[in-house]
Amino acid sequence: MADEPPICSHCTRRAVIRDRTTGEHLCRDHLITSVEDRVFRSLEDEEHLPDVLGVAFSGGKDSSALIAVLAALAGRIPVRMIALTIDEGICGYREETIRAAETIAAKYGVEHRIISFRELFGKSLDEIILGEPGRACTICGILRRRALEILARKEGVRVIATGHNLDDMAQTAVMNAISGDVKKVFAGREISDHYAKRIKPFARVSEREVTIYAMLAGVYHALPECPYAGFSLRGEVRHLLNAYEREHPGTMMNAAKCEETLRTALGPVYPAGEQIVCESCGWPASSAFCQVCMITGKGNPRN
Ligand code: SF4
């Protein structure tokens, strides 16, 4: 006889997910409530929520689920959302995800702004990394961050919510530890007029929960994977952490919490040294030219 499907730990309905850490089963409705409550609490914990909240919106499942949760919480958290999308210019991948983003923004009636690497830096990511796919994620991360800040500033956004989930947080913690660079623990927390504050409402929600939430909300689309994803260290770390989580439930939560504890112990930001600004663009830099200008060639005195 086939096994009976598991039943929700809180009601008599069929479960759609089992929390490996607690062993609890959740049905559709209890999962939705659980995810929305965790996001609500994380937003409540923010000292000051602005009237306008930017959402970094790639069109992928995490940021799409975030738009859906924030729309569901609109009555409890009355902020105006602006979805911010960066078109890096990745052929065979970005066109489709941007179409998905436009569809979802329209579904929820959310204002949507898009800006591209080409508009800002004169070239697409494909053109910048030509022939060196191993550099793609590093360069993409640096340029996308700048692009998002520029777009946010243009829209008057000073706080940006990102779709990073618990798995992402754990991967970042492990990658930071591997790099041996303590400064990375503070990445994205710089205090400067140039940077909007980042918040991560899904920081305590696992990738599986976000994925199922996105499916239940009807915002999950099977989209192509970025062709450069296979070259990233994150992919390797993800694979390892998933295996650890299966054998040792709670690994991801512990890794994410460990980095948070470290950050709390060290203070809100990395002790600032001398403040330098880029000679070319005027953004904060760690040497004469910022990383963006070095990548785009503006940091080369011959240009
Ligand atoms: Fe950018 Fe790498 Fe992500 Fe592709 S996988 S979008 S190159 S960071």
pLDDT in tens, 41-58: 999 988 788 899 999 999
Say what the pLDDT of residue 19 is.
Answer: 84
pLDDT given for residue 192 in this prediction: 67
Q: Report pLDDT for 303.
A: 46
Tell me how far the alpha carbon of residue 88 lies from the centroid of ligand 1, in angstroms.
9
266 Cβ below 6 A of ligand 1: no
pLDDT value for 66: 98
99, two tokens: 């179409």
Nearest CA to ligand 1 atom 5: 229
The closest residue, in CA terms, to atom 6 on ligand 1 is: 226
12: DSSP letter: S
Q: Which long-range contacts (CB under 8 A, 24 or more apart) does 97-102 make?
A: 97/58, 97/59, 97/60, 97/223, 97/224, 98/59, 99/59, 100/59, 100/64, 100/221, 100/223, 101/57, 101/58, 101/59, 101/63, 101/64, 102/59
Backbone angles phi, psi at 160, to 5 degrees: -120, 125
- Given a contact cutoff of 8 angstroms between Cβ atoms, the answer to whether 147 and 293 are in contact is no
CB of residue 91 inside a 6 A radius of ligand 1? no
Q: Is 17 in the pocket of ligand 1 (CB under 6 A)?
A: no
Say how many Å lie between the CA of residue 281 and the centre of ligand 1: 24
Query: What pLDDT was estimated at residue 268?
Result: 63
- Residue 190's pLDDT is 62
Please identify, by atom number, the ligand 1 atom nearest to the C-alpha of residue 58.
6
Task: Give the tens place of pLDDT for each residue, 154-195.
Answer: 999 999 999 999 999 999 999 988 888 777 777 766 656 778
User: How far is Cα 98 from Cα 102, in angstroms, rounded to an integer?
Assistant: 6
pLDDT in tens, the chain (303 residues): 557 779 999 999 999 999 877 889 999 999 999 999 999 999 998 878 889 999 999 999 999 999 999 999 999 988 899 999 999 999 999 999 999 999 999 999 999 999 999 999 999 999 999 878 888 999 999 999 999 999 999 999 999 999 999 999 999 999 988 888 777 777 766 656 778 999 999 999 999 999 999 999 999 988 888 999 887 788 889 999 999 999 999 999 999 998 888 888 877 666 656 678 999 999 988 889 999 999 998 866 544
State if pTM tops 0.75.
yes
Identify whether the C-beta of residue 133 lies closer than 8 Å to the C-beta of residue 228. yes
Residue 196's pLDDT is 92
> Within 10 A of 171 (CB to CB), how many other CB atoms are there?
26
Give the separation between CA 256 and CA 171, rounded to whole angstroms: 8
pLDDT at 189: 63
